[in-house]
Amino acid sequence: MRHRLILVVALLSSLSVGSLSADDLPNIVYVLCDDLGYGDVQCLNPEHGKIKTPCADRLAAVGMIFTDAHSGSSVCTPTRYGLLTGRYSWRTKLQRGVVTGFAPCLIAESRPTVASFLREHGYQTAIIGKWHLNFQYCDPQTGKPYHAKQFKSPPVGSKIPDGPVARGFDYFHGFHHARDMQTVIENDRVIAHDPPINMLPRLTTKSVEYIDAHAQDAKPFFLYVALGSPHTPILPTADWQGKSGLGDYADFVMQTDNTLGEISQALARNGLTDNTLVIFTSDNGCSKAADIAQLAEQGHLVSGNLRGSKADIWEGGHRVPFIVRWPKKVPPGSTSNQLICHVDLFATVAEIVAHPIAAGSGEDSVSFLPVLSGEPINSTRAGVIHHSISGHFAYRQGPWKLALARASGGWTSPTEKEVDNNAPKAQLYHMVEDVGETSNRFLTEPDIAARLLAQLREDIRRGRSTAGPTSSNDTSKIILWKSGQK
């Protein structure tokens, strides 16, 4: 039989599946853009979005826009860890920054992932694109790990013992991270060296091929499309150069949007559109490499009306595009302002397949399936925790956001080193009245700040932010205040 398909393009997936039988489970395709700002999708930024994104706009016109969706971090690796494990990455040894490959996988071998969970419940699983969670490259003859200083690119034939196919995925085609994009990997082996400009077309082709090949399968599939664009290197192909009239970054955004269109066409060609859940999102905000100031001079604001961008604790760092389409479930042209996070994918797919997450996994994940049928999220989580590139924390509960940083906590000026010495030690914003984070109420609302700080401490202490038995963090070195405050 032909299975229903859910397409998730860069944030999380949310369905109402109460009537689905075990033989009629949806396929799941999760497409995650890389460094696509909230304001880079034109329909989310109608006044100051100058880059044409017709495929994402069409998706929104027939689906649902989430206006308060967040990545698990304002940079790449932590977000991807949380997306696949349902657990915040700062619970691991990675307390700031990102990983660089040539090292053991950040996801412990014993930890369930969305992929391993779905495979256990009858799904085929695949990732096409960027991994960025570390793995080792090994000599195929001796099995000994190579070191980054040995090669400009790992040799063709290098074996990967702890990559995606060792963490629940049946199939992998892609690369590790942007600085090693020329190294093409399939399953557990380096298969080629290819100029980075060819990667986005490669991922587009492979995604379409996967849908075509599995559309008629008896088993449902989970396809995680982790695009490496519009992250650096910013390399639109010849067909897309100059299309935007705004520069290379805008051209690359348009080409990325076209990949969504190619995937959508593959779904339509295979008769899957009417009962397909499509989610389009990003791993964090837009990077400074896009030349944000130059784009602003041309009228385009990469974060829309949000403050900051990639790496920051401000909203532009971690509030991300999140557009959902599922014609039989989601009202067209609808909007949700419910608070969700990338870590919620695990609980959402668990509700889809009607099986609970095993104890000791998915500790921070809450299902947002009810949202698609217009119902509120039934959350046991008090709030959502944000994290910046430098490890600065923020806590969001209802309309309030407490940031344990004196400034951006990231790359946007003023940085923590640039901020005035007399600035308050933290920031408190009302995200309904002041989504642009212009009025710091930390000193005037001390009771609210204290309540949020206490909840953040408790969520860290318990090793989980949802209801359930106390879990363990992987490290005891979680530093709450990064700017010297106590």
Give per-residue pLDDT as tens, 51-80.
999 999 999 999 999 999 999 999 999 999
Q: Name the nearest CA neighbour of 160 among 178, 175, 179, 177.
A: 175
Residue 283's pLDDT is what? Answer: 98
Q: Mean pLDDT across the stretch 412-438? A: 96
Listed range (72-81, 230-239, 432-441, 477-486) with the worst mean pLDDT: 477-486
Helices 345-353 + 76-85 axis angle, to 10 = 20
Q: How confident is the model at residue 22 (pLDDT cuts 50, 70, 90)?
A: low
Position 20 pLDDT exceeds 90:
no
Position 16 pLDDT exceeds 60:
no
99/20: higher pLDDT: 99
Torsion on CA atoms 282, 34, 137, 237, rounded to nearest 10: 140
Q: Mean pLDDT across the stretch 228-244? A: 98
369/429: higher pLDDT: 429
* 34 Cβ contact list (under 8 Å, min separation 6): 76, 130, 178, 226, 227, 228, 229, 230, 231, 282, 283
Residue 300 is encoded by which pair of tokens? Answer: 């385009």
For the chain, the average pLDDT equals 93
Q: CA-to-CA distance for 479 and 456, rounded, in angstroms?
A: 12
Residue 483's pLDDT is what? Answer: 78
Q: Mean pLDDT across the stretch 26-55? A: 96
- Do residues 267 and 58 touch, judged by C-beta distance below 8 A? no
Q: How confident is the model at residue 23 (pLDDT cuts 50, 70, 90)?
A: low
The position carrying tokens 């790992």 is 154
Question: Tell me: the pLDDT tens digits for 471-486?
Answer: 999 999 999 999 755 4
> Left if phi > 0, otherwise alpha if psi is -120 to 50, otherwise beta: which for 280?
beta
Backbone φ and ψ for 301, nearest 5 degrees, come out as -105, 110
Distance of CA 338 to the CA centre of its chain: 17
Cα separations in angstroms, 433 against 48, 441, 477: 20, 12, 35
Q: What count of other Cβ atoms lies within 10 Å of the Cβ of residue 138?
A: 18
- Do residues 66 and 8 touch, judged by C-beta distance below 8 A? no
Residue 5's pLDDT is what? Answer: 46
Q: Mean pLDDT across the stretch 404-419? A: 97
Q: How confident is the model at residue 245 (pLDDT cuts 50, 70, 90)?
A: very high
Question: Tell me: the pLDDT tens digits for 194-219?
Answer: 999 999 999 999 999 999 999 998 89
Q: CA-to-CA distance for 478 and 31, rounded, in angstroms?
A: 31
Residue 461's pLDDT is what? Answer: 97
Residue 110 is encoded by which pair of tokens? Answer: 């014993």
Name residue 144's amino acid.
K
Q: Report the percentage of the chain scoring pLDDT > 70.
A: 95
Residue 17's pLDDT is what? Answer: 44
Residue 175's pLDDT is what? Answer: 98
Residue 342 is encoded by which pair of tokens? Answer: 């990338």
Position 93 pLDDT exceeds 50:
yes
Q: How confident is the model at residue 434 (pLDDT cuts 50, 70, 90)?
A: very high
Listed range (163-167, 241-245, 404-408, 419-423) with the worst mean pLDDT: 419-423
Residue 465's pLDDT is what? Answer: 98
Q: How confident is the model at residue 21 (pLDDT cuts 50, 70, 90)?
A: low
Question: Tell me: the pLDDT tens digits for 286-322?
Answer: 999 999 999 999 999 999 999 999 999 999 999 999 9
Q: Mean pLDDT across the stretch 266-276? A: 85
Q: Which pTM does this prediction carry? A: 0.95
Cα separations in angstroms, 194 against 124, 137, 153, 284: 28, 17, 11, 26
- Could you write out the DSSP letters of every residue in 401-465? EEESSSS-SSSSSS-TTTS-TTS-SSEEEETTT-TT--S--TTT-HHHHHHHHHHHHHHHHTT-S
Residue 15's pLDDT is what? Answer: 41
Q: Walk me through the domains of the chain, giving residue ranges and CATH numbers.
A: 24-373 (3.40.720.10), 384-462 (3.30.1120.10)
Position 244 pLDDT exceeds 90:
yes
Residue 484's pLDDT is what? Answer: 59
Torsion on CA atoms 199, 304, 56, 209, rounded to nearest 10: 20
Name residue 57's amino acid.
D
